[in-house]
Amino acid sequence: MSTLTRKQAERRYLLLTAVRWLPAGITFGMTVLLPLERGLNLAEIGVLMSLQGFVVLGLELPTGGLADAIGRRPLLLAGAMLAVASTWVFLIAESFAVFAIALVLQGVFRAVDSGPLEAWFVDAALADDPDAELDAPLGRAAAALGITIAAGAALGGALVAWHPLPGQSALVLPFTVSTAVYAVFGVLVAALVREPHRERASLAFAVRETPLAMRGGLRLLRGSGVLRGLVLVEVFWSIAMIAFESLAPIRLTEQLGSESAAAAVFGPASAVAWGLFAIGSSSVVLVRRWLGPAGAAIAMRILNGAVVVVMGIAAGPVGLLVGYGLAYLTHGGAGPLHNALLHRQSAAETRAMALSINSMIAGGAYSLGLLVLMPLAETTSTTVAIVAAGAFSMLGAVGYLPALRQQRRAVVSD
């Protein structure tokens, strides 16, 4: 890593981000539709999806500490292998129990994968230029993520429409392709991610140093009201994500009459939505210039929740999908602003832990939200659940107030 310039590290980061998220785009929305097609009900799917989140909740701190202790590269390689395994098990699952195994593996993958790649890039960028602005390159990475998922969603929809395996579900081929792309990601990580040599990265070293890294991250959280506020935002943000990630394809299925019809429409719609996500991410510098990083983050949190409410009350598939696209536009703008604020509250030795704490809270809130919103959707309607999620998520803007006060103090002192 020490031999890379900031621009070189950014190019590698963008490529790895794109390949990492391409499989997610290919199967986007289908992780709900495949179990639904194979006979599971909404309450069971809610439990399944929450399993992944609870696994992430339990493993985020240990894996974040491990990444800070032994390096980012080993965690990224392990994550790639887990991604291949979890996607394949999900593909072959026919029962609740096998789907549960797949989601547990997926949870381990998400915990291992959340943070090391971004932490590696930020370490490299700040090593080359300690005063480097982070929101612009993080915005470009988020834009690359959005464009890639958009392309993947279009590809996934095309694979469903093509359906060259008449004896199989139309949803099988996208998961098969995703498994192969995850394997390619692992090869690229092995080739491109380089870190300073670590003298002692043995198992004994990892067991000893990981708790120390975890304690360092928790001390950082206790000592920073700004960081605590940023992490709190994830509780509300995650609830909005349930609406546009999990409830939107279910609502579309209700409107169109079948899972296959919904998947065929949802692929192109997701491609457009993730293209809007990329536009939102690319525009983050302009928004920050007008309002400052914390002010812009507040505006995006409120706008995102508001358009989720609109998505819920809009009539018909067209109204639903327009609201869905706007949700991703504001979701894309919010991410780089949030993460740039987060990184400025941590140092290299606690950076992966800070990301893991943030992700842990997000995963836990998402899981608990699923256990509430999925039964709510089944007993009332998906419309009620979507509107409730959007309205609740707007309250998360309060979590940015400590960062806003810090931003204003910095302006006054300058």
Read off the pLDDT of each residue in 363-370 and give the average, rounded to a whole number: 86
Min mean pLDDT across 85-94, 165-174, 225-234, 343-352 is at 343-352
Q: Are 321 and 269 in contact (CB under 8 A)?
A: yes
Q: Are 247 and 33 in contact (CB under 8 A)?
A: no
Cβ count near 17 (within 10 Å)? 20
Q: Is residue 196 packed enough to be buried (19+ CB in 10 Å), middle (13-18) or exposed (0-12)?
A: exposed
Domains contained in the chain, CATH given: 6-413 (1.20.1250.20)
Q: What is the pLDDT of residue 48?
A: 87
**How many helices (H) does the chain have, and how many strands (E)?**
17, 0
Q: At what angle do helices 316-343 and 248-256 cross, to 10 degrees?
A: 170
Q: What is the pLDDT of residue 64?
A: 76
Distances (CA, A) of 316 to 241, 265, 323, 382: 21, 13, 11, 13
Q: What is the pLDDT of residue 13?
A: 94
pTM summary value:
0.74
Q: What is the DSSP string of 9-27?
A: HHHHHHHHHHHHHHHHHHT
Greater pLDDT, 333 or 346: 333
Min mean pLDDT across 61-65, 89-93, 396-400 is at 61-65
The model's confidence at residue 413, banded by pLDDT at 50, 70 and 90, is low
**What CA–CA distance (Å, rounded) separates 267 from 72?**
33
Q: What is the pLDDT of residue 1?
A: 40
Q: What is the pLDDT of residue 241?
A: 94
Read off the pLDDT of each residue in 346-368 and give the average, rounded to a whole number: 79
The model's confidence at residue 199, banded by pLDDT at 50, 70 and 90, is low
Distances (CA, A) of 346 to 41, 233, 239, 343, 386: 43, 17, 26, 5, 34
Q: Are 14 and 278 in contact (CB under 8 A)?
A: no
Nearest one of 234, 228, 185 to 23, comparing CA atoms: 185
The model's confidence at residue 411, banded by pLDDT at 50, 70 and 90, is low
Q: Are 126 and 349 in contact (CB under 8 A)?
A: no
- The tokens for 94 are 């026919």
Min mean pLDDT across 64-73, 194-203, 310-319 is at 194-203
Percent of the chain with pLDDT over 70: 93
Distances (CA, A) of 287 to 26, 35, 296, 343, 353: 30, 40, 6, 19, 28
| Highest mean pLDDT, choosing among 9-23, 189-203, 282-296 | 9-23
Residue 329, helix vs strand vs coil: helix
The mean predicted confidence, pLDDT, of the chain is: 85
**What CA–CA distance (Å, rounded) separates 296 from 310?**
21
The model's confidence at residue 209, banded by pLDDT at 50, 70 and 90, is low
| φ, ψ for residue 404, nearest 5 deg | -65, -40
The model's confidence at residue 208, banded by pLDDT at 50, 70 and 90, is low
Q: What is the pLDDT of residue 204?
A: 58
Min mean pLDDT across 105-109, 149-153, 326-330 is at 149-153
Q: What is the pLDDT of residues 94-150, one digit of tens each?
A: 999 999 999 999 999 988 887 789 889 988 888 888 877 777 788 888 888 888 988
Min mean pLDDT across 57-66, 193-202, 288-297, 303-312 is at 193-202
3-state secondary structure 72-135: HHHHHHHHHHHHHHHHHHHHHCCCHHHHHHHHHHHHHHHHHHCCHHHHHHHHHHHHHCCCCCCH
Q: What is the pLDDT of residues 70-88, one digit of tens each?
A: 788 989 999 999 999 999 9
